[in-house]
Chain A
Amino acid sequence: MICVTILYFAHLRDLRGCSEEQITLSEVCTIGALFRQLFLVEPTGIRLAIDAEYVDTETVISDGDEIAFLPPMGGG
């Protein structure tokens, strides 16, 4: 079993209805696949991070990861 924490920001938080959740996966998957599973679309324009570092869609997630889905930035 793989337990991860997922963080949602900006419009993704609005879509998901929460800013953070813990989920348990029964099998190994990539962060891109996890996004598709949760939002039913490709993560186009969304940047992905594990433990506060950018990763690509094919990065495999591990037990204990802090995953973040990052919509287009608006800082400055």
Chain B
Amino acid sequence: MIALAHSNDEISIEALEEAVQHPDCGADLIFVGRVRGVYKGQSVQYLEYEAYEKMAIACMRKIAIEAKEQFHARVAMVHRIGRVYPNQISVVIAVSTPHRAASYDASRFVLEALKRDVPVWKLEVTDEGRFWKQNHKPSESQ
């Protein structure tokens, strides 16, 4: 399952985990990204995500294939598009591998690749105004 979920679409964490389960895989790992209510002291009202949708889906598929090649990981992911409020889910990544070490590595690989390469943008709306926020490199992120 590789998908973009629009604001009112349900994201089922259970469905993502089911999508990656396989008799050969003993380690499922689910990453859930949620919108923070406060960023650098400013109260966040909501985020507005947008995507170049057909390219985003193609990039997510490519990342899943790379994770399979590198980590023997089965991958499913859904990214939210549209308005997302604090504490709501923005992204879910499910990976399943034969053993646990590869599962942690694959999950991180997929998330970092998604943040770097998938054409999705977020407008952060706070009490102070509206700002296009860009992702930091992993070494710069908190």
Contacts and interface: CB of A to CB of B under 8 A. Distances in A.
Given A10-B132, A68-B119, 5 more contacts: A73-B135, A75-B114, A75-B118, A75-B122, A76-B120
Q: How large is the interface on A (under 10, 10 to 19, 20 to 34, 35 or more residues)?
A: 10 to 19
A52 B58 contact: yes
Contacts, number: 69
20 contacts: A7-B52, A9-B52, A9-B119, A9-B121, A10-B132, A11-B132, A49-B55, A52-B52, A52-B58, A68-B119, A73-B116, A73-B119, A75-B114, A75-B120, A75-B122, A76-B79, A76-B90, A76-B91, A76-B115, A76-B120
Nearest to A19: B50
Nearest to B54: A52
Q: How large is the interface on B (under 10, 10 to 19, 20 to 34, 35 or more residues)?
A: 20 to 34
B120 A74 contact: yes
B69 to A, nearest CB: 19
Interface in A5-50: 7, 9-11, 47, 49
A10 B52 contact: no
Nearest to B124: A74
A73 B91 CA distance: 14
Contacts of A49: 52, 55, 119
Q: For B58, B133, B134, which residue has the most chain A Cβ atoms within 10 angstroms?
A: B134
B125 interface: no
A35 B46 CA distance: 31
A49 B115 CA distance: 17
A75 B135 contact: yes
B26 interface: no
Nearest to B57: A52
- 4 closest A-B pairs by beta carbon, nearest first, are A75-B120, A72-B134, A74-B122, A52-B55
A11 to B, nearest CB: 5
Interface string A55-76: 0000000000000101111111
